[in-house]
Chain A
Amino acid sequence: MNGFLNQLSLVGDWLTSSQQWHGPDGIPHRLLEHLTYSGLSLLFAALIGLSLGLLVGHTGRGAFAVASVANLARAVPTFGLVVLVVTLAGLSTAPVLVALTALAVPPILINTFEGIRGVDPDARDAARGMGMTGWEVLLKAEVPMALPLILLGLRVAAIQVVATATVAAYPGLGGLGRFIVDGLARNDYELVIGGSAVVVLLALVVQAVFTALRRVVVSPGLRAPASGP
C-alpha cells in the first residue's frame, strides 16, 4: 500500500508543477492532440460503421461478410498496424488517423448490425402494419430499439481509439502517450506515471460520457443492465 501512496504523491507532484501546464509539452496541448486524433477517427468510423451497419442490418444482406470482418479485425494487433503505417508512410498524422479509423469501424459496424438484426420481428411487423415506410421502420422502430447495442459499439470503439492513440506516441506521434514514451526513454518514472494518470483520467471520462449518454438517449423501456466490454 505504501507503494501506491508513493505513486499517488508522484502523480500529485507532477500534476501540480507549473511546467506541465504550458507549451507544446504541456498537458493541455497533449490532451488537445489526443482528443483531436481520437475524435476525428471516431467520427469517421461512426459515419462508416453506422451507415453500413444500418444498411446490412435492415436489408439482411452481407451479414456473413460483416461478421467475418469483425472477427478478423479483432485479431489485428493495433500496435503492429500503427508502427507499420508509420514505417511505410512516414511520420505524419493522416496515415495514423486512417489506421485508427480502420480499427474503430468493426466494433461500431458489428454492434449496429447485431442491434438492428436483434429487433423483435413482431415490433418490426407492427411498425410496418401501422403503414410506416422502410425508412420510417428503420429510424422510428429499429434504431431506437437497437440503441443500447449501437452505443456499446461506439463505446468499445472509443476506448480502443483512445488506447491506440496512446500507443501511437511510440512511433513518434503526439498525444498523451508522449509522456509515457518519453518518460520511459529518459528513465523518468515521474513523467511515466504522471502521463499514465492523465490517460487513465481520460479513459474514465470517456466511460462516464457513454454511461450518461445511455441514460439520456435510450428509451426507459429498454434499459437492461449493460453487458459486454
Chain B
Amino acid sequence: MRDGEPLVRWAWIGDHVDELAHYTGVHLRLGLLPVLLGLLISIPLGILCHRWRWAYPPTLTAANILYSIPSLALFMIFVRYTGLTERTVMIPLTLYTLSVLIPNVVDGLAAVPDPVRQAATAMGFSTVRRVVQVELPIAVPVVVAGVRVAAVSSISLVAVGQLIGQGGLGYYITRGLQLDFPTPIITATVLIMLLALVTDALLVLAQRLLTPWARGKGAAA
C-alpha cells in the first residue's frame, strides 16, 4: 500500500455506487443459482438415498470428494469445456453444494416420525404423494439448514471465479491488488459478507413461512 493512502477512501465508494450495484447483482446470480440447481439435484438424490440406504454412502463419498477439490483447480478443469463463462463458475459451485444438501435431505427425511408416514399411507396416499406432500414438508427445517450453509459458502466462493474473469464482486478484489489500492478490496469483501448474511437471514424467514406449524413452539434451529 502506498504511504498516506487511507484504509478506505469513502469518496471512491460514492463514485462507484452504480457499478457496485451491477456487480452485486452478478455476484448474487453466480452465488445463488448454483444453490438452486444443487437443491434440484439433491432432493431427488436424497429421496433415492433415503429409500435405498445402500446408495447413500457411495453418493456421499462422491459428493465429499468433489467438495474437497479446491475451487481454483475445478474452475480450470471446466474452462476447457465451457470457456471463460459464468457457467464455468456455476457448475463447480453447484457440485460443492451437494456435499451439504444431500445429507441434509436424507437426514430431514429420516427425521419424519414413522407414525406420520403410516398415517399418510393409511389415508390412501400413494408413495409419491406421501413423499411430496407429507415427508418433504416435515423435512423442510433440516433441508433449509443445509441450504443456509450452502448459500453462504457459495456466495463467498464466487470471488475466486475472478481468476477466470467471472467473479462478481471479486472484480474489485483483483482490481484493488493491481492498483495497490485497498478501498475496492475492503468494499467488495464487506459487501460479499453482507450479501451472505442477508441471504442467510432471508432463508431463516423463508423457513418460518414454509413451516407455519412450527411457529411459536420454539422449534426449528
Question: Which residue from A76, A88, A184, A200 sits with its C-beta under 8 Å from B73?
Answer: A200
With A83-B177, A163-B71, A192-B76 known as contacts, the answer to whether A75 contacts B107 (CB < 8 A) is: no
- The answer to whether B193 and A75 have CB atoms under 8 Å apart is yes
Q: In the complex, A95→B124 CA distance in Å?
A: 64
What is the number of residues of chain A that contact chain B, defined by CB distance less than 8 Å? 46
- Which chain B residues border A75 with CB–CB below 8 Å? 152, 155-156, 192-193, 196-197, 200
- Which chain A residues border B185 with CB–CB below 8 Å? 80, 83-84, 87
A72, A77, A207, A225: residue with the most chain B Cβ atoms closer than 10 Å: A77
Q: In the complex, A203→B80 CA distance in Å?
A: 21
- Which chain A residues border B157 with CB–CB below 8 Å? 77-78
Residues of B43-74 contacting chain A, CB below 8 A: 56-57, 60-61, 64-65, 67-74
- The answer to whether B193 and A77 have CB atoms under 8 Å apart is yes
- Which chain A residues border B74 with CB–CB below 8 Å? 196
Q: In the complex, A199→B186 CA distance in Å?
A: 28
Question: Which residue from A80, A203, A227 sits with its C-beta under 8 Å from B107?
Answer: A227
Residues of B129-154 contacting chain A, CB below 8 A: 149, 152-153
Listed in ascending order, the chain A residues whose CB lies under 8 Å from chain B are: 3, 6-7, 71-72, 74-81, 83-84, 86-88, 159, 162-163, 166-167, 170-171, 177, 180-181, 184, 189, 192-193, 195-197, 199-200, 203-204, 206-207, 225-229
Listed in ascending order, the chain B residues whose CB lies under 8 Å from chain A are: 1, 7, 56-57, 60-61, 64-65, 67-74, 76-77, 79-81, 99-100, 103, 107, 149, 152-153, 155-160, 162-164, 167, 170, 173-174, 176-177, 180-182, 185-186, 188-189, 192-193, 196-197, 200
Known pairs A79-B173, A229-B99 / 19 extra A-B pairs, C-beta < 8 Å: A72-B197, A75-B156, A79-B162, A79-B167, A79-B170, A80-B185, A84-B182, A84-B186, A84-B189, A87-B180, A166-B73, A180-B72, A184-B163, A199-B73, A207-B64, A227-B107, A229-B67, A229-B100, A229-B149
